[in-house]
Structures are given as C-alpha cells and as structure tokens.
Amino acid sequence: MEVQKCYYASFNVGNVEVWGSGLYLEKDSVIKEIEESIEEVAERIECFSIFVDEDKAKEILEKNVVPNFKQYEEYKDKENNFDFFILEQPIWENYEQKKR
C-alpha cells in the first residue's frame, strides 16, 4: 500500500517559525500559497528580525526565495538568520500502517 504524503512550508527567523502555509496534498499548492503570501511573510519577518525591514524582506523573497524554492524546496539566508523550507510528511491511515 502506497503511503500518501502531505506538504507544509515553514519560514523561520532564527529558531522561531514566523509563517507557515496550509497543509496540502500537492506540493504545487504550497508553492502557490508562498507566492501569494509574500507580503504577509515579509511583514512577519520584520516583526521578528532586527536585520531586515518589510521592504527588504519582500525584495529577498521575490528575488531569491521564491525562485530558489521552486527548484530546491528550501532557502537559507545566513546573513539575515532566516530559512524557508517544505516539510514532506506521510499521512498514515492508522497506527498499524505506520508500524509496517
């Protein structure tokens, strides 16, 4: 039996998750939500980052994160101390399926 997977995107500043997507069965849905949420993500980054204001965060997201994310499914910015990634999780029907 094939195990179905779900996908979730997370954006962290330091060790704090500042934005997360919905939980989707299709990875493309996660990417679409990211593209449509750039302003919200940038606003959240500004609240948690002493290094980046909202305009700079939006610029970083549009120019670096979204294009890299489509190809590599993650983005790390060591200079500004944030990272963005997709989590892939199995969906178990029941505990016995997980144990197999």
Give burial (CB, 10 Å; 0-12/13-18/19+) of 100.
exposed
Q: Per-residue pLDDT averaged across 63-84, rounded?
A: 80
- Residues 6+ positions from 6 with CB-CB distance below 8 Å: 23, 24, 25, 88, 89, 91
Check pLDDT > 80 for residue 11. Answer: yes
At 35-70, the pLDDT tens digits run 899 999 999 988 888 778 889 888 888 887 777 777
How far apart (Å, rounded) are the C-alpha atoms in residues 23 and 20?
9
Tokens 């997370």, located at residue? 10
pLDDT at 21 over 90: yes
Q: What's the length of the chain?
A: 100
